[in-house]
A and B are shown apart, each in its own frame.
Chain A
Amino acid sequence: MKPAPFKYIAASSLDHALSLKAENGDDARFLAGGQSLIPAMNFRLARPTVLIDINGLNDLAGIDRSGSEIRIGALTRYCDLERDGDFLKSCSLFADALPHIAHPQIRNRGTIGGNLSHADPASELPAIAVAMEAQMRIKSSTGERQVAASEFFTGLLSTDIQPDEMLVDIVFPSPKPRSGACFMEVARRRGDFALAGIAAMVTLDEMRRCSEVRLALCGVGETAVDASDAAAGLIGQPCTPEAIEVVTAGVRDAIAPSGNVHASPDYQRHIAGVLAMRAIGTAHQRAIHAA
């Protein structure tokens, strides 16, 4: 028995969960997969007095690809995404990134919404959400709003979610024609936190010149870093190795990693550049293939 005492309530509906949260505010936490919250509680870094278990709220789980957008419910677990071949085919950023996210046992429990709400800067999903320009749909007992991923992550382990709110799903546009994407990262061991990781998306015009490049990095700042501006020079140009080399230098300048026990800031910056080069190259190849 490691966590400090708390009152456990299994929510019977989303409304029930949200009204409990409104009542208890910051003293209460939602329990989804628990793969970040329970360790924090075991260390007593987190000491919620009320734990609202939302695992029974099946409506919050699932992938909806029926419209022009892709919608992933907050309670969708990593393993659900891993087993959905059609989804992975349509979304190579997730296909590339999922095997890097912790280990199979964690992926059987961890949820997309829990990950994004936790906002770990070394985590893959916030970078993917920023690269894909996802919209986060947030609910409270009094209303609902949508926040762009770029504004959702406000700092280290911090988001725009207010004490009475819950992230209920994330929505992102279906891949455009002639587009390709790639996620890559470097970690000391499989499943460890990345020293640096990058999500790259390349869209080509009919002449196979870049019409849009999206770049977002994880593990190199207090939040996911949007480095798309570093690729501004690629727009309207063919995606040659020389052009990508210039972007690589721009990515290194766009980040300010703090270093950690495994890597100096310079080393992280170096890796970020190499990953940018490779990921843009692969995304470009995939875009050509998709055309």
Chain B
Amino acid sequence: MQPDRHDIELEVNGTTYRRGVESRTLLSDFLRHELLLAGTHVGCEHGVCGACTILVDGAPVRSCLMLAVQANGHKLSTIEGLAADSGELHPIQKAMHDHHGLQCGYCTPGILMTMTAFLKENPAPSEHEVREALSGNLCRCTGYQNIVDAMMAAAQAMRAAP
């Protein structure tokens, strides 16, 4: 079978990319291998772990459960776009740093993408809501407590910011 290829155009972190992709290329692999945006991590590759979470048109999704060809015409955000160009950390990143919210760090990009979208929709969450929002991202190091603390602090910092 000849590889089934398609031309796609998509926006990632504000930059427009045009590429030809084989239809069976997963979006997660496309980001990492084609665009060399390897901050999106790949864990289970069947939608359980959440490490590959990115934003598609602002909504967190598993990039291992989308085909690259499906991203044609859409706007994506990945972990690479979170910090400011100056290098200043996003409040969520800073809170994770301050609260020791990561150990090995493998799950962190997925968690940050999930929680950026969550805190945008729910700027004043309860701890329960934060835990609920985190339920689709597995972390095997931290036991989640510090991540939850970081998210509560980030929410507060973002509310206080002008």
Residues on A facing B (Cβ under 8 Å):
1-8, 10, 31, 34-35, 38-39, 42-43, 51, 53, 55, 79, 99, 102-106, 108-109, 189-191
Contact = CB atoms under 8 A, between A and B. Distances in A.
B60 A108 contact: yes
Contact of A34 (B3, B66, B132, B135): B66
B44 to A, nearest CB: 9
Which of the four size classes fits the interface of chain B?
20 to 34
Given A1-B26, A104-B136, 8 more contacts: A1-B29, A5-B1, A7-B23, A42-B45, A106-B47, A106-B65, A109-B62, A109-B65
B135 A3 contact: no
B7 interface: no
Interface of B: 1, 3-4, 6, 22-26, 29, 45-47, 50, 53, 59-62, 64-67, 69-70, 114, 118, 132-133, 135-137
A105 B46 contact: no
A55 B70 CA distance: 9
B23 A8 contact: yes
Given A3-B24, A38-B65, A99 B4 contact: no
A105 B50 contact: yes
Given A8-B23, A38-B47, A190-B135, A106 B62 contact: yes
A270 to B, nearest CB: 26
Contact of A8 (B4, B26, B61): B4
A95 to B, nearest CB: 15
Given A43-B46, A105-B62, A5 B136 contact: no
Given A34-B65, A42-B46, A105 B136 contact: yes
Contacts of A6: 4, 23-24
